[in-house]
Structures are given as structure tokens and as C-alpha cells.
Amino acid sequence: MARLFGTDGVRGLANDELTPELALGLASAAAVVFGHDSVRDARPRAVVGRDPRASGEMLEAAVCAGLAATGVDAIRVGVVPTPAVAFLTADYQADFGVMISASHNPMPDNGIKFFSGGGHKLDDAVEDRIAATMAEEFARPIGAAVGRVVDAVDAGDRYRAHLAAAIGNRLDGLTVVVDCAHGAAFELAPQAYADAGAEVIAIHAEPDGLNINEDCGSTHMDKLRAAVLEHGADLGLAHDGDADRCLAVDSTGQVVDGDAIMAILATALRSRDRLRDNVLVTTVMSNLGLHIAMREAGITLRTTAVGDRYVLEELRRGGYSLGGEQSGHIVVPGSGTTGDGILTGLLLMEQMAATGERIADLARIMTVLPQELINVRVADKHAVAQSQTVKQSVADAEAELGDHGRVLLRPSGTEQLVRVMVEAGSADTARAVARRIADVVEAAGS
């Protein structure tokens, strides 16, 4: 039986796969689990936030009903980024937090993710406890024991103050175009950058419940690139629907991805003696160029499986200072418990202000190696990945590429696909080697 929870909460087509009934059941089960674990004498309470998509209104009502019906007070913080819910869960001293969002997914989708009392993402064991509790019967409170639902009018101000405290330099003199993806950061991102002194030009900051992520944001950056050139801005920043991601555009319109942002921030932290053990944590999908750049800078790269939750686990395990993904999920544990796109944008601009350098100059610390990715549909992805013929083809390719390239072969997490990724010194080499391995994978999987 498939797990209810995916790599980032419970996600699906709203009102079809993710129904109000399911949302109510999830919230009630989470209330039982976290209420049981609560060490507070007072009634348990939970922070509830959402992104602007239309179905969020319906699911928010269901979540709050599920919490109240289980004797938990719901602190409703409205439309805020996912990292704001993580921060506010800790700041309000709540027992847990609930974010209703499908992140960068299209508008018809939605999702529900939970944070523990300190604002941390849940591990598999806690998620499985919540899923199991949904099938159990439990006593429902009555009278004064029923939970209450209150609106937190100061939530945005608290989060903005938290962001302002995370940087030490003003951003006066910098002009930034911020693409809000018609998402959860449509107000808070422009405000936070302006609070720090930047001149802000906001685009795609008019959510109507239906246009979130529509041809904009961190997955569609052409309009941001054009706006940076049109306004002669110093840089552009792109967030996704729930603003836990940040990608950048330099003054010439070139994209600066999560790998380059991590390289900039890691070297900045190291120069200030604030990079714990000189370690940067990232996933296996980060470009080999990042590995080479960090090695030359005296920084150790620790890699995890794909997914920001695995980066977070490694950061917490080692007490490290910085980690993230190529997609723009950047985590700075000293200033937050999860990926925070607005914080990333502030730290990136702070480094520009501190050095007087353009983002293009800062990003030159790493050279991106050409990458070729081929998805091969197979009958049994796990059997193919263990095939000796496939393993030999990968070994032969790695020997051919040497220190100037690499091969990554991994089964898809959701489909019967094997992903073949090759990085090499030239695009032609990467393409040829990837095609050769993909042919072997296809033959083994037929």
C-alpha cells in the first residue's frame, strides 16, 4: 500500500484526490499525535497558513474544523509563505504548524504539510503515525473543550521582523525585480526587500486564486529576465507559489540557479568563519561544477538523496550552516528551519552590497558543466537499476569521463522511469554518453 505522505506532505488534485474530508481527517489525526506529544499545560494550538490558490480557502476551513473538533486551537495566519508558517509555529510557541500549498504545482493541485513545534519538517515515522491515527476512533471534546479558531493579525509583521534580523547590511542602492508567482509572497517579498533598503519592482504580484505559478515564478523565468533588462535592474529574484524557493537573474538576464547561489553564500560564510566545519550540504543533482568550485575553495560538499527534507536531515545531523538544492531551496539553519526564498534573496543581495560586486561576478566562482538528462520508460525501474549490464555501462562511462564528468543513474520516485544524467566537459560529450547509457537501460528494461 502506497504511503499517504509524499516527499513533501500530502499533495493532489484539490477536491478530487485532496478532498475537504481528507483535510479534516489529516488535521484531526495530526491534532491527536501532536496533542499527545505536547509538553504544554495549556490546550494545544496549531498555526495554519496557506497560499492564494482558490482551493486553499476550502481546505483551510476543513483543517481548522478538524483541529477545533479535536480540541486544538487554530491560529490562522492567512496567505503567507511556507517558511513563514515554520517560523511562526516556533514564534507563537504552537505545538505544530499546517501549511496548505502545492508549492510550484499548477493551480488545480493543492497540498497539506506539517511542521513540528520547533518549525521543523516531519520525519517519516511521525507522518506514518498521523496516517495510522486517521483510521482510529478517538474521543471528541464538547462544550468549552472544543478548539477555537483565531486570526493572527500580527503574523506578517513578526515574519518581516525575523527576516530583517537575519541580515547585517543594508541594501540601499540595489534595484531588484521580484517575481512573486502570484503566490504566497506577493506582499511579503516586496515588503521585506524594501524594508532592507532595496528599490523593488514587483511583477506577478496580483493573485486572484486562479493564476498562481501561471507562466511565472521560479519555473518560468523568461518574463523576469525581460523585466530585469527593461528596468536596468541589478538583479531579479524568482519565487515559487509558496516562496520556499529562490532563483536569480543577473543584470544581463542570465539565470543564476540554486547551485550558484549556494556557492556564493557558502564562500561568503566561510570568509566570515561562519560555515560550520567548512561543509555545504546539497543533493546528488547539484552540478559537478559546484563540487569542483567548493573543492577549490576548501569547502567539503556532502550530498544527499533528492529532496529538501534529506538536506534538512543532514544539516540537523551535522549541525551544519548551509544547504540546499539546484532548484532554489536554500536552507540557512542559523536563520530558519526550512527553505526560505525571501531569506535567500536577502542574503544574496547582502553579499552584493557587502562586496560591491555584481551577481554575475559573484557567480563566476563556479562554472556549470554541460548536463544531459534522459528519462527512459521501463517495465521495472528497480530491476533495471540493478542490472549488471547497466552497471557496467555506467562504470565504462565514468572511466571515460574521469575527473571531468560524472554519471548519475536513478529510478524515478513516482513513475516507471530511470533517469540518466551525464555531466561532461562539453555538451556533445554529455549528450553522446547519456544516449549510450540510455540505450542500454532501454534494452534492459524492455
Strands (E), 261-345: 279-283, 300-304, 323-324, 330-331
- Residue indicated by cell numbers 507562466: 215
Q: What is the DSSP letter of 136?
A: S
Q: What are the residues facing 47 on neighbouring strands? A: 75, 97
What is each CA distance from 98 to 2, 63, 138, 237, in whole angstroms? 22, 8, 21, 26
| Cβ-proximal residues to 199 (8 Å cutoff; 6+ apart), any chain | 174, 175, 176
Spell out the alpha helix ranges (H) of 69-100: 82-91
Annotated ligand binding at 271? The verdict is: no
- Spatial separation of the C-alpha atoms in residues 278 and 341, rounded to whole Å: 23
Alpha-carbon distance of 93 to 113, in angstroms, equals 18
384 CB burial (10 A radius; 0-12, 13-18, 19+): buried
State the helix-helix crossing angle for 341-355 and 258-271, rounded to 10 degrees: 60
Q: What's the rounded Cα separation, in Å, for the pair 385 and 349?
A: 42
Count CA atoms closer than 13 A to 87's CA, side-chain side. 27
Please state, as a whole number, how many other Cβ atoms lie within 10 Å of the Cβ of residue 199: 16
Active site residue 103: yes
From the list 28, 55, 101, 103, the catalytic residue is: 103
Cell 498521523 belongs to which residue?
A: 130
How far is it, in rounded angstroms, from Cα 342 to Cα 345?
5
128 among annotated binding-site residues: no
Check whether 242 is labelled as a binding-site residue: yes
Residues 6+ apart with CB under 8 A from 365: 260, 263, 264, 267, 293, 297
Residue 240 marked as a ligand binder? yes
The answer to whether residues 359 and 248 touch, using CB atoms and an 8 Å cutoff, is yes
Residues with Cβ within 8 Å of residue 14, at least 6 apart in sequence: 53, 55, 58, 59, 102, 108, 109, 110
Annotated binding-site ranges for Mg(2+): 103, 240, 242, 244
Task: Give catalytic residue positions.
Answer: 103
